[in-house]
Structure 1
């Protein structure tokens, strides 16, 4: 195997040659008949070597390459744009936008797995202190869609973003998830809408506090009841429509980070946030509650983290959950899909108030009024500094990018999806 020279320009050429050879071998093995398990296992060898080559290249050149991609950190490309710039700057390093688009929607079982290359790339970006911090700041800047909507929102009390809407009343910005068909499950489109909504609440001076809540459902089983979140949209995951960049990384680095840390850049601002947990907070919904300043839960609500059933890593829950419930209960939630009712003793660690359904509105209003105290923002910053310094989050997300990108294409995840899909089709 050729050694890298240490020169970015020379090494990108060397990498291209090496990756071309790995791709040719992988294509040959993919089309050759597999007579036994050993043949099938050998076919994964070139892909693994390719990922290792990318890791080795990026370990040498990440800082210089990132400067090139961002013009010395004077430009702020978000995840998709940064990946596209990387694909142009270093041939075969990551898939192009066109390649990802062609792969999308094939069904998770049939996708080619090149998002793992993006996991390697963004893992390396986040591992490098200066590039990683720049990317975190970039992802906490307001989205273009939010900035475009802001002028017309100034005179409106409500804006409809499809699966999410924003309402302003009584000094609070209420973000309502209304993804009716999927009981407020999140997918790429919901994440995009939620980030826009969070931006609008943070940018609009009418809101001193943000509130996240599920809208009343039209689903026959939950007709008229509010639901907080049913987690990741497993239907879209099965169909290959949950992306590493548009969902798994954007969700953590985008709207959740903006709730927790506020906006960055020229429009830097942060506000306290309230989560209102009605009925259940499953998976990603339970993850969300970990970053809020105040959580109000319905007495009938419950939390679960069915990450192992799904075969994925539950976002940043592994980083944050133990701080609230302790390491043993955190493992029970993540490893054993333990259900915790809001009214149970352990539920007290996940909510500040547990009230009957009829008292939810009043509890939210009271908490919002209390959080308008001018000293709240300064104190939430200091609490965050003690609990989760940004570099701790950055290095966690570096490993998350690598491991979650592999989990997306693991055989157990595919099998779990197939079982879930077959089970649903029989009911």
Structure 2
């Protein structure tokens, strides 16, 4: 390290050590006085500013050293590697373990330091695309499950059901107890299912839908998604890397950009892509609405609604800010994201996001018609070109780089801590 930055690295180390020593002398975060909070905040601010300056200069050499003997590391693997090879540049495993299991209000906030590092990686024209490519590769879990899914056409996990029928993969979100409000387990299950749908040569189009609920208010009804699970966020179980960044750079981006995997036509395209249909019952809230922006065809029941309640929750709605305006224009996107506007499927403005609105009982038939249309041989090539024009990889990289830090900061905003405590009881 000193060979790279003899003038700066000692200051980075010294500032990180000071933060550690100060944390060791203070009470738990929730028990600190205003003076103690101000003292630790100032120390962390100094450390983060120095680390940012260092990373602005040396991120490419750091990243190359971390990944030189690999085909690429996923985000959490990368953070483990940097903690081992460059102590002080990101929180240690001990730091992260100390926060794990605490309520969000009781955490030290080490994820902000992870966000500082990941923003620097993703900002880099060299390191950023390399990391994003690593996130597009199939997970080990999906690779292990592929032979069985190819044989049976069925995958059941805690959160999802994936079924292959007549060349269509039906991915049903099955968190019936919490209105399909996403947590880290569901993100893992969703990425596994998306990988399998893309890997299976017998699948030509995929359908995403919510299952029937057992939740008292919606018992027996299908619900698309209630977004992020605020109860789990309040409990401290929604992480920056395992949920927020994995979701955006993992399965959602795979739905759009495809799966980066060796295949018999890799010379044509390094990714395997397939069209996606969303079938919306009842509502698509928050992260549920974000999923619609990744789909090629959206069919909704006439009594369904869409909303991105970012201002109410206090966090950034993933890549919703990046994609929504492309569909609706800037005024509607601000009304939805900043003002919490709810769009009903039958109203005119919703047609920017929904391709077909049908009566609830006609949704199955509309999905089947859409699936048959999207099985046309020219669809994959044309969606590839549409996505190249509408969502260039470099623009996504620049957006997600800033998101990595801004979302980490929002996780620890006092308003978010207060709001998720109040809203937690509305989910599972």
Which of 179, 182, 187 is the equivalent residue of 1:191?
187
Which residue pairs with 1:176 in the alignment? 172
1:37-76 → structure 2 map (5 Å cutoff): 37=34, 40-71=37-68, 74-76=70-72
Contact 1:86 1:94 in 2 (8 A): yes
Contact 1:126 1:133 in 2 (8 A): yes
Which residue pairs with 1:303 in the alignment? 306
Which residue pairs with 2:332 in the alignment? 329
Contact 1:83 1:96 in 2 (8 A): no
Moved over 6 A (4+): 422-425
Q: Which runs of 5+ in 1 are unaligned?
A: none
- Please state how far the C-alpha of 1:28 moved relative to its aligned partner: 4.7
Q: Which runs of 5+ in 2 are unaligned?
A: 264-270
Aligned residues: 421
- C-alpha distance in 1, partners of 2:312/2:244? 17
Which of 117, 122, 145 is the equivalent residue of 1:121?
117
- Please state how far the C-alpha of 1:321 moved relative to its aligned partner: 0.5
Q: Which moved more, 1:38-47 or 1:400-409?
A: 38-47
Which of 76, 80, 90 is the equivalent residue of 1:80?
76
Contact 1:142 1:263 in 2 (8 A): yes
- C-alpha distance in 2, partners of 1:97/1:378? 44
- C-alpha distance in 2, partners of 1:185/1:237? 11
Is 1:151 paired with 2:151?
Answer: no
Is 1:221 paired with 2:224?
Answer: no
- Please state how far the C-alpha of 1:10 moved relative to its aligned partner: 7.8
- Please state how far the C-alpha of 1:94 moved relative to its aligned partner: 1.4
User: Which secondary structure state, in structure 1, belongs to the residue aligned with residue 277 of structure 2?
Assistant: strand
Which residue pairs with 1:209 in the alignment? 205
- C-alpha distance in 2, partners of 1:140/1:123? 18
- C-alpha distance in 1, partners of 2:183/2:74? 18
**Alpha-carbon displacement from aligned partner over 1:83-122 (angstroms, at most 9, x marks no partner):** 0001011112212344323312210000110000110111
- Please state how far the C-alpha of 1:9 moved relative to its aligned partner: 7.8
Contact 1:6 1:60 in 2 (8 A): no
The structure-2 alpha-carbon separation of the partners of 1:86 and 1:39, relative to structure 1 and needing over 3 Å to count, comes to closer
CA RMSD, 1 decimal? 2.3
Contact 2:63 2:121 in 1 (8 A): yes
Which of 102, 108, 112 is the equivalent residue of 2:104?
108
Which residue pairs with 1:135 in the alignment? 131
